[in-house]
Structure 1
Amino acid sequence: MIRFRLLAALLAFLAPLTGPFPSFANETLWVGSTAGEARAAALLQAIRSAPDHGLDPSWYGLAALEKAAAPGADPALAETLLTAAFVAYAGDISTGRVRANRVDREIDIKQRKVERADLLKAAAEATDFAAYLAGLPPKGDYPALQKALATWRAKRDGAAYTPVPDGAALKPGATDPRVELLRNRLAELDLAVPAPVTTADSYDEPLVAVVKAYQEAKGLTVDGIIGAKTLQSLNTSIDERIVQIIANLERRRWLPEDLGTRYVLVNAGDYSMVFVDGGEPVFRSLVIVGTPRNPTPEIQSTMRGFQTNPYWTVPQSISGEEYLPMLRRDPNALQAAGFKIFESWSDDTELDPNTVDWNSVHPKAFPFRIRQDPGAGNALGYIFFPFPNQYGIYMHDTASRWLFTEGSRNFSHGCIRLQNPLDFAEKAFGGRGGFSKERVRQVIDAGQQAHYTFPEPITLYVTYRTVSAAPDGVPTFRDDVYGRDRRVVRAMAKP
């Protein structure tokens, strides 16, 4: 019978470890005893059920495992293969199949980790190994996402799919042969489609109402117009929705099991923010996040306070890509909006924009610093909430509050614009520290810059959840505007 420490040495060759394997003297985990064989059977059953979690049994060598665990097979080989499969499966199911920060440069989170030695120790000590395996995945809404995955896989087998052809925007009152296809597509999405008022190709008001309800559910602009974004959403196939559910199961495995009792969760996938204090949601808000070209990253950080009437120092990329063309047309173009240009990033020597040959400045090597003064038109609004991160983003107020009326609120360069920042600040203080929203307003109105420190730090999670699910498994989808879900699932399939 193979000794466990010899097995550990073999597995150290097979895979890099986050910690040493334990030694259990002469004991084996999977063969040579009734308890071991029961563990092996439970592990094989869990791996067969891996698709319930969006995982593939072949990633763990299921066919080879079943051969190795069959009667008469080599027990040493069985012990080796089952142990390797267990540490791989248990790690994937509990903390994620992939290293999140390697999937996308816009992901920088503190992903949960598991020590493989701890997994093996827990497996050996579990009195009910099947129950132990069942307890490895996250809790919360994870089981609901699993139900959604099962439902949509079942739908795929017999579902019809009628794409709506591309073309000019389809507006209420129009007559277009695509309207009949639109009716079919909406019915396929389980929406109650009314009979045409006149002809089947008439985009009449009852049908417009159904489209508006669909747009609202998907976080699109609710205007009843079948434009590019609504068309793309309507034409998303069941297979693509399944990919989204799998990606969101994986994304949930990345996060801590317990997010804490005091945290902000920003979901760039559905343009929302919630502040939890004392374990209870105490504030919710709409947010504006980054465009597909400048996506809001997935990060974890800490917020400690806020500042009033901030300056906005324009990132170098924005200066070169957006403001340089304006300066080439008119060197004084930025002055009216309260911008000043400085000779470098290291001093405050102000530059006369009329003295620069802007046509000779390269957009990728913009040498000057542009800063916007505080005021009503400041891009950060009147309040901003800094937090450490490698992307230079923060949460802030905005001068363009009308954008919160839009459905798809991805308009920023990556920062998070908050709808009611002063109300959030009030909740963050929770009546402590003598905080007064009215006094802060007075400071803002006086044009003063002031720093306020929260009585307790707030953990910040910025995620990208494009699927949520009710406890019964009914999902709500938001469109994968960043294309990040597809990248996650592609990374999961790699060895």
Structure 2
Amino acid sequence: MTTRRSLLKSTIALTATAALPLSLSTPAFARETSSREFLKEFFSHSENTVGTIKLRYKEELARIYQQRGYAPLWIQKGKMTFTSKAVLKKLSSAQLLGLDASKYYSRLLSQLSASKNPQHRFQFEIIMTDALYTYFDDVAHGNLRQNDASSGWNLKEGNIDVRAITTEFFTGNHSFRQTIDALEPDHPRYKGLLKALHSHYVMAAAGGWTEFPNGPALEYDESDSRIPVLKQRLQQSGDLAETHVDGDEKFNLAVFEGLTNFQNRHGLQPDGVLGPKTVAELNVPLHKRISQIHMNLDRWRWLTRSDKQSNIIVNVPGYDLDVTLHGELAMTMKVVVGKPGNRTPLFSDEMEHLVVNPSWYVPSSITRELLPRELARPGYLARNRFEALSLATEESVSLASLDMHDKHPNNFLSNYRLRQLPGKSNALGDIKFMFPNDYSIYLHDTNAKNLFDKTERAYSHGCVRLEKPFALAKLLLQHDGRSAAQIDTLLGQKSTTTLVLDRHVPVHLTYQTAWVDGNGKTHFRPDIYGHDKKAGESLDKGKSFYADAENYALDATNDIVVSSG
């Protein structure tokens, strides 16, 4: 009789071209041991390997099969079920959910399913369930986890009960589509990215996009032999209608508009000039864009799902802020974020209060930048409404009373801290938004409004400067139940005033270098802090991630339901 131990010892190679074992010691396995008996016996012991596969979720599998009375999920009367074939197809095309299909042993499972050997069928049964549970867990939490992605990620993670949700599938109560819907983020930008990923795979299946040759910069109304190539490239990425693709070498209005569309989608100055930066973006390989979408799908999976009805999301490399209230996008605006040497940290917290006419308590790192200006130009700090606060007493000390020795950065910071009083020169502007955190980061107004005219806006020391701060304040106060008259009075205060919000609003400072806008256009942005590079090193996605786009449907067609046992 075949035993559990002989099954475990069966050797199965894991490489992409692995061969199945040539022979088995007990070919009468299926006739002498019932499926239920075998599964019950297997899960009663501590071994967690099948062949050479180490199971990732042995305990979860034991619970699942116990709930099913140890009835197999994928085998009936020694044969593969239709359901198992459908699930295997989903695992094989996991790339189209932004996942790594190699994690789910799809090639090995295909080999096992094709084998007529009974032992291989039972190996298939157990490995398939472990692979599917891994797949479900990755759909919920990401192929790459937040802690593995890069340092500086502290987002509030998704509160998804994978065990409870998947139990409904494995017991036959929920379909595959229902299970995926329950595990995935329910956010328009996540869903838009999935569609963008699908369209990029279709593009890859059609041969990818054309590489644009280098050469001198080109502008509107010029002629060049590269213009027909540019038209083809812009058409391939959806920036130019196919009707404009021809052999004409004139840089005409249609080409100009198509190029500015492309520049807008890639965070470039939309000047319609075909310069080196634009050519560099045109020539980013398609497989790298696919990889970029994969990474950003994971970043949505890291976010908590509990606050999807109301939240504030700052996208650092996108230099923008979205406010969602009651499930609807209520506001978007430009922001200025930390420069690469003073990165805006990535984390989650809750907006608790606003401060009108705030003072600015200057961080020590910025104080070290300001004091040399004071030493070079005495009175600089006082002219800009700065004062010194004694660390011992918290009382204000006249800067004029301090000598040059006292104003040396090391000496000053040992005894004082800087505070800037409210006013036109105050770096925080007229209002700041507080979500108390360990990083001393907040949202605030700014007196440097000209920065919002720039395409790239990484200029701050880490805090987030707002394009429309008072519009945000009114929106939050309305959400908090204040009347229009109350809001006007509160925001019109001349003295420093703290406005406490009864309804806290979750705030997420995120890092999305790929997203889809409300018009269905896919946007890409430079990796200003190097997080994409780090993620790429941890999770190498390349041309091997291309998949047959026909293997995946974006709707619920051919949904899957397992038997209840």
Q: TM-score range with shorter-chain normalisation? A: 0.7 to 0.9
Q: Which residue of 2 aligns with 1:27?
A: 70
2:117 is matched with which residue? 72
1:450 maps to 2:450? no
Judging changes above 3 Å, is the alpha-carbon distance between structure 1 residues 265 and 115 closer, same or farther for their aligned structure 2 residues? closer
1:260 counterpart = 2:324: no
| Alignment counterpart, residue 234 of structure 2, candidates 189, 199, 204 | 189
TM-fit CA distance, 1:164: 4.0
Q: Normalised by the size of structure 2, how large is the TM-score?
A: 0.71
Does the Cα contact within 8 Å between 2:74 and 2:125 map onto a contact in 1? yes
Shift of 1:127: 4.5
- Superposed CA deviations along residues 347-401 of structure 1, whole A, max 9, x for unmatched, are 44646553327778499x9885332222111111111011033322111111112
Deviation at 1:244, TM superposition (A): 1.9
Q: Shift in Å at residue 93 of structure 1? A: 1.6
Q: 1:393 to 1:164 in 2, by over 3 A?
A: farther
Q: Which residues of structure 2 form unaligned runs of 5+?
A: 1-37, 542-565
**Counterpart contact for 1:91–1:114, Cα < 8 Å:** no
Q: Which residue of 2 aligns with 1:438?
A: 488
Cα gap change, 1:154 to 1:78, in 2 (>3 Å): closer
Q: State yes or no: 1:3 paired with 2:40.
A: yes
CA distance in 2, matches of 1:221, 1:318: 30
1:214, CA displacement in angstroms?
Answer: 4.0
* 2:528 matched residue in structure 1: 481
1:95 to 141, 160, 178: 141
Superposition RMSD in Å: 4.2
* Residues 328 and 277 of structure 1: CA distance in aligned 2, closer, same or farther (over 3 Å): same
The residue type equivalent to 2:303 in the other structure is L
**2:513 counterpart of 1:466:** yes
1:428 lines up with 2:428 in the alignment: no
Amino acid at match of 2:70: E
Distance 1:42 1:56, change over 3 A: same
CA deviations on 1:150-180 (whole Å, 9 max, x unpaired) are: 3323434242112546x9xx697999x9x86
1:100: Cα distance to partner?
Answer: 1.3
- The residue that corresponds to 1:412 in the other structure is 460
For 1:400 and 1:449, how far apart are their aligned partners in 2?
21
Q: What are the ranges of 5 or more consecutive residues in structure 1 without an aligned counterpart?
A: none
Aligned partners of 2:169 and 2:176 also within 8 Å: no
- Using the alignment, how far apart are the partners of 2:363 and 2:301 within structure 1? 33
For residues 72-104 of structure 1, the C-alpha deviation after alignment (integer angstroms, 9 at most, x for no partner) is 242553343223212211111222112214312
Partners of 2:353 and 2:501 within 8 A in 1: yes
Q: After the TM superposition, which of the residue ranges 225-234 and 85-94 deviates more from structure 2?
A: 225-234
Instruction: Give the match for residue 405 of structure 2.
Output: 356
Name the residue aligned to 1:162: 212
Q: Does 1:56 align with 2:100?
A: yes
**What amino acid is aligned across from residue 473 of structure 2 in structure 1?**
A
Task: Tell me, in whole angstroms, the C-alpha distance in 2 between the residues paired with 1:359 and 1:183.
Answer: 62
Partner SS state of residue 430, structure 1: helix
Distance, in Å, in 2 between the alignment partners of 1:360 and 1:384 is: 27
Per-residue deviation, residues 198-227 of structure 1 (Å, max 9, x unmatched): x98xx9999776655544343434455667
Paired residues for 1:250-289 under 5 Å: 250-257=298-305, 259-289=307-337
**One-letter amino acid of the counterpart of residue 63, structure 1:** R
CA distance in 1 between counterparts of 2:280 and 2:423 reads: 39
Shift of 1:290: 2.4
Relative to 1, partners in 2 of residues 1:221 and 1:390: Cα closer, same or farther, differing over 3 Å? Answer: farther
Answer whether contact 2:352 2:436 (CA < 8 A) is retained: no
Residue type at the aligned position of 2:88:
L
Q: Report the Cα distance in structure 2 between the residues aligned to 1:20 and 1:334, rounded to whole angstroms.
A: 66
Q: Secondary structure at the match of 1:355?
A: coil
Distance 1:394 1:67, change over 3 A: same
Q: Residues 164 and 234 of structure 1 are in contact (CA less than 8 Å); yes or no, is this contact kept in structure 2?
A: no
SS of structure 2 residue aligned to 1:71: coil
CA distance in 1, matches of 2:336, 2:86: 46
Contact 1:302–1:457 under 8 Å retained in 2: yes
Q: Name the TM-score, length of structure 1 as normaliser.
A: 0.80
The answer to whether the Cα contact below 8 Å between 1:19 and 1:116 also exists between their aligned partners in 2 is no
SS in 2 for 1:439: helix
Count matched residues: 480
1:125 maps onto 2:171 in alignment: yes
Name 1:86's counterpart in structure 2: 132
Alignment partner of 1:112 is 2:158: yes
1:46 aligns with 2:90: yes
SS in 2 for 1:293: helix
- Residue 30 of structure 1 aligns with an amino acid whose one-letter code is L
Residues 470 and 412 of structure 1, relative CA distance in 2, 3 Å threshold: closer
Identity of aligned residues (%): 25
